Amino acid sequence: MPAKTFIASGPLKGRIQVPGDKSISHRALMFAGLAVGTSRITGLLEGEDVLATAAAMRQFGASIAREDDGSWRVEGAGLGSLLEPRTHLDMGNSGTSTRLLMGLAASHAMTCVFTGDASLSGRPMNRVIAPLAQMGAQIEAASGGTLPLMVRGLTPAVPITYRLPIASAQVKSAVLIAALNTPGITRVIEPVATRDHTERMLAGFGARLETGEENGERVIALHGEADLAPMDVCVPGDPSSAAFFLVAASIVPGSDLTIANVGLNPTRAGIVTALRQMGADITEDNPREVGGEPVADLRVRHANLAGIDVDPAIVPSMIDEFPALFVAAALARGTTRTSGLAELRVKESDRIAVMARALALAGARVEETENGLTIHGTGGDPLPGTREGASVATELDHRIAMSMGVAGLASTRGVQVDDTAPIATSFPDFIPLLERASSR
């Protein structure tokens, strides 16, 4: 378990590029693996989570290989022609891989066993099990609806209309992916719109779907027994990864950093909105569209941040970025209040409780509520940092490790985190990139 102390740095300068978007990378591999023909993916995130998806799709019969130029070539197995996995599907730490591939297995006549690491095996899957069971899949999970978990798929599966009880792009996507091999029309109703990468990319691969509104709620209707055609996918930079550098440059005096090629899908860009509301200096240069996704280069300069009350309506568009936002709040002037974050309690860790303890250990003033944090900022002064011999417990959560690493850049003593290994799940080059940006 490689512990590391992150210490105060010089200003973050220059131009960097963060890894490809994790959500889009997962989906590109899956949908290319379901198409008939050859797809090429550039900019793919090569973290452990995405590689778990690639390994699973190979078991389903897709041919997936990394080319010498860094692109990925995928020969699809064809929807409805998947092979039954010969061994269990090891999802590692990836909740996205697990939930979306459960949907894939649910509408194919096969039996799949999903396993994962200690962190993933503690995460509940009941929210995905419920709609897939309605479609006819038989699912047996460990106590509490966790991994290890077995899915016995049904062909033909049953089309359903499913209203999401909570905002979850993963549950929505699992149902839509199951619907691909299901006759008829499957409808998903979203009371609160979530990230729409699945809908955008499925349309690109040739699936027939319509989106609309009924009674103020978003409705996605997918026509089953789809024929997916291969396509080339260019993956934009991950806004969840960019968030750490947006916060770091905002809180370290003298910083002027450009983050190239960041995806700014409106269902994902809440972190930029929230930071700007706090007074962050973030500009969008060279806005463009790549593969159906809005993209821009983000220039961020140090700013004096102020605390805000975060609107719960913005939560779905930045659910993974709150640990980074909590760090920004700890260095801001005044108080930041967040609510509506119950989803954070069932991520890789309980991110509300773990970040409350981590920030307090680094000297921040934090109060934990049932579904959020109240953070009293330093007014721009550095955090004290962790005491000698004390270490932030990351609980195997990559975003806790990276967020507290950023906090260390604006601290007096530095911040020690107990384990940086989980960072490899989503951002293998985070530490060297952070060191390069702060040493120019």
Active site residues: 320
pLDDT in tens, 89-118: 999 999 999 999 999 999 999 999 999 999
Angle at 24 between CA 22 and CA 30, to 5 degrees: 105
224 assigned to some structural domain: no
13 assigned to some structural domain: yes
The reply to whether 243 and 392 lie within a common domain is yes
- Can you give the pLDDT at residue 264? 96
CA atoms within a 13 Å half-sphere pointing along the CA-CB vector of 349: 20
Confidence category of residue 214, pLDDT binned at 50, 70, 90: very high
- Can you give the pLDDT at residue 346? 85
279 assigned to some structural domain: yes
Rounded Cα distance between 167 and 48, Å, is 26
- Can you give the pLDDT at residue 8? 94
| 174 neighbors 137 (Cβ within 8 angstroms) | no
Rounded Cα distance between 368 and 338, Å, is 10
State the chain's mean pLDDT as an integer: 96
The reply to whether 10 and 40 lie within a common domain is no
- Can you give the pLDDT at residue 440? 57
- Can you give the pLDDT at residue 243? 98
CATH number at residue 108: 3.65.10.10
Rounded Cα distance between 74 and 360, Å, is 46
332 assigned to some structural domain: yes
The reply to whether 96 and 144 lie within a common domain is yes
Residue 101 belongs to domain spanning: 22-158+169-182
The reply to whether 178 and 117 lie within a common domain is yes
41 assigned to some structural domain: yes
Share of the chain above pLDDT 70, in %: 100
248 assigned to some structural domain: yes
Counted domains in the chain? 2
- Can you give the pLDDT at residue 1? 58
The reply to whether 14 and 37 lie within a common domain is no
pLDDT at 439 over 80: no
108 assigned to some structural domain: yes
The reply to whether 429 and 310 lie within a common domain is yes
213 assigned to some structural domain: no
